[in-house]
Amino acid sequence: MSAPAVASTPSPAHGTLHKCGDISATPLKSSIVFSINDRIGILDECLAAIKALSINLTRIESRPSKTDDWDYDFFVDFAATSSDQVASVVKALEPLAKQVHIVGTAGDTLPESTPWFPRKMVDLDTFADKVLEMGEELDADHPGAKDPVYRARRAEITKIAKTYKTGMPIPHIEYTKEENETWGAVFNKLTTMFPSHACREHQYVFPLLVQNCHYGPEAIPQLDSVSRFLKDCTGFTLRPVMGLLTSRDFLNGLAFRVFHSTQYIRHHSRPLYTPEPDVCHELLGHVPLFANPDFADFSQEIGLASLGASDEDIERLATIYWFTVEFGICRQGDKIRAYGAGLLSSFGELEYCLSGKPELRPFEPAKVAAQKYPITEYQPVYFVAESFKDAQMRVREFATSLDRPFSVRYNAYTESIEILDSK
């Protein structure tokens, strides 16, 4: 009855080293069902047979069997340490009971239609060369498209992301004078607006980034130092990426508290606006928020909901991500402030979103998830969160309404995803 491992790691290089279940001590939560003819002491004998294998039972339920009078079905969950142990339970019960079936073992019972998802941090290595358009090859209308020097420079920088592997320090980049000047222009413009437009969490963290990670108008900070700072704050880390990932891959990374970050900078001809992520957007928009514990929890919640989700649900979650992490605004006292990175890294839109012109609606995930939005111009609608904690609770509640037959939990000690019983 047990289904094949559909969503397991396709990475042979790491598979042998980290074969979960058989060599690790992580318990394999298993469920078994068996029937017994009613007679005194039979259940005791069945349980004793399991006890003799030194296996811990975690749940037991009985119900009258539907087929024969006075038969009973028993549902037992136990924590085995290997798939061999699961088989030995079946063997021990067979002489005592009828119809012994394994209903499921955590980790190998996902429905066959489940899209692949990363189970361990190293699985994120498989995303590296799957970037969408505007990644390595620039679009024709991109300001850098016809500039061969810019193109060559981007290719050089994205090479780092292409070959990056989990656990490596992020390679430093020697930015050019021109690149640092572009950064300086963006930095100086935005920092004049933050006091009146950025949420208080962003404002709290910003000086710490100046102190700890060399944020300032002179030079682009290095991702490696920023990643180590974030790790200390919330466990979030940065991972270099060549460009836009699919929504699925990008959101899956958040489940591990990993934020995929570009390392190149926008074209110098248009410092104050770009439709695509660049190092200004990541460092000035996203990073300060990922240093906040409630925001980190909120972001990971979206990531966890995306693991193994259907394409339709990925679309909904990406839309929620869009209207929160990218373009979210929130109520703070009697003011409304920006916390979305797409706002905090864009001088024009940061001003516009709080100008009273666009429509503001309350943050209700089911409604947000269905909202259409433009990606290359200012948003006509923004959603106002009451707090990151409130938004997280709402997203968690929303996630239970998605059609995924299992739930997941992140184990920070092993940096891996645990599959919980069917919901």
Binding of ligand NLE by 277 (CB under 6 A) = yes
* In the complex, minimum distance from the CB of residue 120 to ligand HBI, in angstroms, rounded to a whole number: 21
Q: From the list Fe ion, ligand HBI, ligand NLE, none, pick the one residue 273 interacts with, judged by a Cβ distance below 5 to 8 Å according to partner type.
A: ligand NLE
C-beta of 345: minimal distance to ligand NLE in Å? 3
| 281 catalytic per annotation | yes
Instruction: Give the chain's largest Cα–Cα span.
Output: 85
Q: Could you say whether residue 273 binds ligand NLE (CB under 6 A)? A: yes
Q: Which CB atom, from 81 or from 345, has the smaller least distance to Fe ion?
A: 345
* Catalytic site residue from 179, 276, 326, 349: 326
| Site stretch for ligand NLE (CB under 6 A), options 30-38, 134-142, 274-282, 308-316 | 274-282
Distance CA 358, CA 382 (A): 7
Nearer to ligand NLE, 142 or 404 (CB): 142
Look at residue 244 and give the partner it binds from Fe ion, ligand NLE, ligand HBI, none, a contact being a CB closer than 5 to 8 Å depending on partner kind.
ligand HBI
The yes-or-no answer on residue 286 being catalytic is yes
Structure tokens at 327: 């373009």
247 binds, among Fe ion, ligand NLE, ligand HBI, none (CB under 5 to 8 A by kind): ligand HBI
User: Does the protein bind ligand NLE through residue 9 (CB under 6 A)?
Assistant: no
Cα–Cα distances (Å) from 402 to 299, 324, 372, in that order, read 17, 19, 19
Residue 340's φ and ψ, nearest 5 degrees, are -75, 135
Question: What number of other Cβ atoms are within 10 A of residue 106's Cβ?
Answer: 21
Contact indicator for 204, 294 with CB cutoff of 8 Å: no
Position 326 contacts ligand NLE (CB under 6 A) = yes
Catalytic residue among 31, 261, 345, 416: 345
Q: For the beta carbon of residue 298, count every other beta carbon within 10 angstroms.
A: 28
- Interface with ligand HBI (CB under 6 A): 241, 244-245, 247, 250-251, 260, 277, 318, 321-322
Bridge partner list, 306: none
Does 280 help bind Fe ion (rule: CB under 5 A)?
no
The Cα–Cα gap between 71 and 231 comes to 56
Sheet with 329-332: list strands edge to edge: 335-338, 329-332, 381-385, 359-362
Closest to Fe ion by CB, 65 vs 234, is: 234
Half-sphere exposure of 112 (CA within 13 A, CB side): 4
Residue 100 sits at the vertex; the CA angle it makes with 96 and 103, to the nearest 5 degrees, is 145
Q: Indicate whether 341 belongs to the interface with Fe ion (CB under 5 A).
A: yes
d(C-alpha 165, C-alpha 161), whole Å? 9
- Would residue 345 show up in a list of annotated catalytic residues for this protein? yes
Binding positions for ligand NLE, rule: CB under 6 A = 273-274, 277, 281, 326, 342, 345-346
Positions annotated as catalytic residues are: 281, 286, 326, 345
